[in-house]
Amino acid sequence: MKNNIKTLRAAFQLTQSDLAEKIEVSRQTVNAIEKGKFDPSLPTAFRLAAVFNCSIEELFIYESEE
Amino acid sequence: MKNNIKTLRAAFQLTQSDLAEKIEVSRQTVNAIEKGKFDPSLPTAFRLAAVFNCSIEELFIYESEE
DNA sequence: TTTAAATGTAAAGCAAACTTTACATTTAAA
DNA sequence: TTTAAATGTAAAGTTTGCTTTACATTTAAA
């Protein structure tokens, strides 16, 4: 699963800490999701999409797992 | 988080087992998601949306947690 | 009305999402 | 060029998504 969080976060001029606060997760979680270390939960994905005013599908690119 | 899986599954004439097979989870997992016992992972949500040819936002209704 | 399919649910265990703490590295402003 | 903010990352622990096994209940077809 790829995502456009880093780009959008920059466009919205938010630090990882700012974004973490908005979506109510830790800064490390934002970093990990952004870097593709793991996928967010569905609720977290919804909150991210809300912050960036876009759909989950616009934020995340699903690629069938291996 | 509410969802329309039961309705859509009926419309597509799929059993919980059928759907489980399609999205590659266990039947119990489909049942639990359908009954709102827990939220699916983001990859599972993507696969569900793909089966029903709709968006994740059309399938799941996000409600801020308590 | 009997039988089979479908659904509901529970327990034990594993895996992944997330936390906190902590520290090292990069970036950018003074 | 020093300093602070921002980012990267790691370890240990908690929570939750999901599995398998197992069985009970509901639904529907014969």
Domains of chain B: which residue ranges? 2-54
Q: Which architecture, in CATH terms, is B2-54? A: Orthogonal Bundle (1.10)
- Going from the C-alpha of A61 to that of each of A4, B1, B2, B15, B46, the distances in angstroms are 8, 22, 23, 28, 9
- On the question of pLDDT at B64 being above 90, the answer is no
Residues touching nucleic chain C (CB < 7 Å): A 24-26, 28-29, 32-33, 38-41, 43-44; B 9, 15-17, 27-28, 31-32, 34-35, 41-42
> Residues, chain B, total?
66
Q: Is the pLDDT of residue B8 over 70?
A: yes
pLDDT score of B65 more than 90: no
**Per-residue tokens: A52:** 């960036």
Q: Give the helix ranges, DSSP H, for chain A.
A: 5-11, 16-23, 27-34, 42-51, 56-59
CB distance B27 to B18 below 8 Å: no
Q: Residue A66 has what pLDDT?
A: 54
pLDDT classification of B66: cutoffs 50, 70, 90: low
Q: Average pLDDT, stretch B32-52?
A: 98
**pLDDT per position in chain A (66 positions), as tens?**
999 999 999 999 999 999 999 999 999 999 999 999 999 999 999 999 999 999 999 999 999 875
